[in-house]
Structure 1
Amino acid sequence: MLVSLEFVRQLELDIVHALHFLYAKWKIYFWINNEKFTYNFNITRFFA
């Protein structure tokens, strides 16, 4: 029982880490491709 519980907890941690890694990769990819657009959007929103 304890072993299976540990295994499930480890599996949950691995899934969370994988999701965080994919999310970070997507954010970096998105930021590189849309850096100028995002910058202009933030500036106009800040001064609007």
Structure 2
Amino acid sequence: IIRVRTNADGSLVDMRSVSRVGVSDMGANAARIRAFQQALRERGI
């Protein structure tokens, strides 16, 4: 889930990722979110 909201300073991006199968994904979802955040930063978003 990705939610983008505007605020007084620009915008705020909230991200959430949950495993669909099993209890743990061994950190894979967190790694995907960090990679996506890095890609946004590299593009100046």
* TM-score in terms of structure 1 length: 0.41
Bigger helix share = 1
* TM-score in terms of structure 2 length: 0.44
Bigger strand share = 2
> 1 or 2 for the larger relative contact order (CA 8 Å, sep ≥6)?
2
Structure with max Cα Rg: 1
